[in-house]
Amino acid sequence: MTTTSENFVSSPRDTAHDVRNPANGQVIGAVNWTDPADIPGIVAQLAKAQPSWERLGPEGRGQVLARFAQWLIDNTPRIEAQLIAETGKSKIDGGIEIPSILAIIAYYAPKAAEFLAPESRPASSIAMNTKKITVHQRPRKVVGVISPWNYPVALGYWDVVPALLAGCSVLLKPSERTPLSDELIAKGWAEIGGPPVFEVVHGAREVGEALVDTVDFIQFTGSTATGKKIMERAARRLTPVSLELGGKDPMLVLPDADVKRAAHAAVWGSMFNAGQTCVSVERVYVHDSIYEQFVDLVVDEVRGLEIGAGLDHSVGAMIDENQLEVVDRHVRQAVSAGARALTGGARIPGHGSFYAPTVLVDVDHSMECMREETFGPTLPIMRYSEESEVIALANDSEYGLSASVWSKDRKRAERVALQLDCGTVNINDVIMNLSCLTAPHGGWKGSGLGSRFGGADGLRKYCRTEAIVDTRVTLPSEPLWYSGPSWLAPVALKSLTKLSNKALRPFRR
Q: Is 85 helix (H, G, I), strand (E, B) or coil?
A: helix
pLDDT above 60 (res 293): yes
Active site residue 306: no
| pLDDT value of position 15 | 65
Q: What percent of the chain has pLDDT over 70?
A: 97
Taking all residues of the chain, what is their mean pLDDT, rounded to a whole number?
Answer: 95
Using 50, 70 and 90 to split pLDDT, how confident is the model at 509?
confident
Read off φ and ψ for residue 467, nearest 5 degrees. Answer: -95, 130
Name 19's bridge partners.
29
Pairing of strands 314-315, 217-221: unpaired
pLDDT above 80 (res 9): no
| pLDDT value of position 8 | 41
In this structure, are residues 282 and 248 in contact, taking their beta carbons and an 8 Å threshold? yes
Phi-psi region of 16 (alpha: psi -120 to 50; beta: other; left: phi over 0): beta
**Cα–Cα dist 214/353, whole Å:** 36
Using 50, 70 and 90 to split pLDDT, how confident is the model at 477?
very high
Q: What is the mean pLDDT of residues 446-467?
A: 98
Catalytic-labelled residue, pool 278, 369, 422, 463: 278
Using 50, 70 and 90 to split pLDDT, how confident is the model at 447?
very high
Catalytic-labelled residue, pool 244, 301, 372, 373: 244
Q: Considering only 62-71, 330-339, 388-397, 473-482, which range has the smallest mean pLDDT?
A: 473-482
Cβ-count burial of 130 within 10 angstroms (0-12 exposed, 13-18 middle, 19+ buried)? middle
**Cα–Cα dist 397/114, whole Å:** 39
**Cα–Cα dist 459/264, whole Å:** 35
In this structure, are residues 288 and 385 in contact, taking their beta carbons and an 8 Å threshold? yes
What structural domains and CATH numbers belong to the chain? 16-245+454-464 (3.40.605.10), 257-432 (3.40.309.10)
| pLDDT value of position 127 | 86
In this structure, are residues 349 and 363 in contact, taking their beta carbons and an 8 Å threshold? no
| pLDDT value of position 351 | 78
pLDDT above 90 (res 342): yes
Pairing of strands 27-31, 17-20: antiparallel
Higher pLDDT, 140 or 6: 140
Q: How far is CA 501 from the centre of its chain?
A: 45
Name 171's bridge partners.
144, 199
Q: For the segment 381-423, what is each residue's pLDDT rounded down to a tens digit?
A: 999 999 999 999 999 999 999 999 999 999 999 999 999 999 9
Cα–Cα distance list, 236 to 74, 183, 233 (Å): 43, 30, 6
Helix (H) or strand (E) holding 286: strand 283-287
Choose among 67, 409, 83, 102: nearest CA to 273. 83
| One-letter amino acid of 66 | A
**Cα–Cα dist 310/92, whole Å:** 8
Choose among 126, 146, 122, 143: nearest CA to 134. 122
Largest CA distance in the chain: 90
**Cα–Cα dist 375/276, whole Å:** 5
| pLDDT value of position 313 | 84
pLDDT above 70 (res 5): no
Q: How many residues does the chain have?
A: 509
pLDDT above 80 (res 42): yes
Choose among 26, 277, 243, 267: nearest CA to 151. 277
pLDDT above 70 (res 3): no
Crossing angle (nearest 10°) for helices 76-87 and 97-116: 120
Q: What is the mean pLDDT of residues 265-274?
A: 98
Read off φ and ψ for residue 377, nearest 5 degrees. Answer: -80, 65
Q: What is the mean pLDDT of residues 12-41?
A: 90
Q: Considering only 57-71, 403-417, 435-449, 495-509, which range has the smallest mean pLDDT?
A: 495-509
pLDDT above 60 (res 1): no
Active site residue 244: yes
Q: For the segment 481-507, what is each residue's pLDDT rounded down to a tens digit?
A: 999 999 999 999 999 999 999 999 999
Q: What percent of the chain has pLDDT over 90?
A: 93
Sequence-ordered strand ranges (E) for 308-357? 314-315, 340-343
Helix (H) or strand (E) holding 503: helix 488-504
pLDDT above 50 (res 7): no
